[in-house]
């Protein structure tokens, strides 16, 4: 998993119980306390010419808070053939290409306890493609000196990839935080 928040990554993806809207990727109920418009963008260059971009726009409107986000993981690394008899020699034969895209839309009542996020998923490896939809649910409850969160991510039908149906990686997270 590649985290879409620097703080979330530093906390080991355990940000299910936090009131910062940056954690909407971990719990869609984190939108409940949004007070102002905000835009967050991130880029990471990984090994093997792999790049990851993400962005999110937060928008409070009347009685609800909204988010629109995207994640884009991709590469077009050189494709090579290695001659096993000459291990230090190789031949470039083109580019290897994969892309993962996710577009999400979240909603939560202002000062509420729940949030939901709808997601469209598009994956490609060379000429093979898979598309699907899913949603995330979250609850965030604030007590006097304690914050409790629970989220269920990637609820949706299987995605067909190369004539085989694959389940989305469902995740349930529970956490708490003393204030």
In the prediction, which pLDDT does 91 show?
A: 65
Other Cβ atoms within 10 Å of 140 Cβ, number: 26
In the prediction, which pLDDT does 21 show?
A: 72
Per-position pLDDT tens, the chain of length 179? 777 777 777 777 677 888 777 788 889 998 888 889 999 898 989 887 889 999 999 999 999 999 999 999 998 776 666 666 766 666 666 667 889 999 999 999 998 999 999 999 999 988 889 999 999 999 999 998 999 999 999 999 999 888 899 999 999 999 998 98
Other Cβ atoms within 10 Å of 65 Cβ, number: 25
pTM: 0.83
Degrees (nearest 5) of the Cα angle 157, 159, 164? Answer: 125
Burial 14-35 (b: 16+ CB within 10 A, else e): ebbbbbebbbbbbbbbbbbbbe
In the prediction, which pLDDT does 150 show?
A: 96
Residue pair 104/117 in contact (Cβ under 8 Å)? The answer is: yes
Question: Partners of 90 in the beta sheet?
Answer: 82
- Tell me the Cα Rg of the chain: 19
Cα–Cα distance for residue pair 1/12, rounded to 1 Å: 10
Q: Residue 56 has which token pair? A: 């999110």
Cα–Cα distance for residue pair 95/109, rounded to 1 Å: 46
Look at residues 148, 83, 81, 161 and name the one whose alpha carbon lies nearest to residue 121: 161
In the prediction, which pLDDT does 65 show?
A: 94
């Amino acid at each position: 998993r590649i985290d879409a928040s620097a703080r979330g990554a530093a906390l080991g993806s355990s940000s299910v119980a936090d009131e910062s809207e940056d954690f909407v990727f971990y719990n869609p109920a984190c939108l409940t306390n949004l007070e102002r418009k905000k835009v967050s963008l991130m880029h990471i260059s990984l090994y093997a010419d792999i790049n990851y971009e993400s962005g999110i726009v937060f928008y409070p409107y009347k009685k609800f808070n909204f988010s629109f986000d995207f994640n884009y993981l991709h590469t077009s690394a050189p494709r090579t053939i290695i001659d096993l008899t000459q291990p230090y020699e190789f031949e470039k034969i083109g580019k290897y290409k994969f892309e993962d895209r996710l577009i999400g839309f979240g909603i939560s009542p202002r000062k509420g306890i729940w949030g939901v996020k709808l997601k469209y998923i598009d994956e490609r490896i060379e000429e093979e493609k898979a598309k699907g939809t899913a949603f995330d649910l979250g609850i965030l409850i604030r007590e006097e000196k304690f914050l409790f969160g629970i989220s269920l991510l990637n609820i949706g039908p299987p995605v067909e990839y190369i004539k085989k149906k694959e389940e989305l990686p469902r995740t349930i997270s529970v956490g708490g935080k003393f204030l």
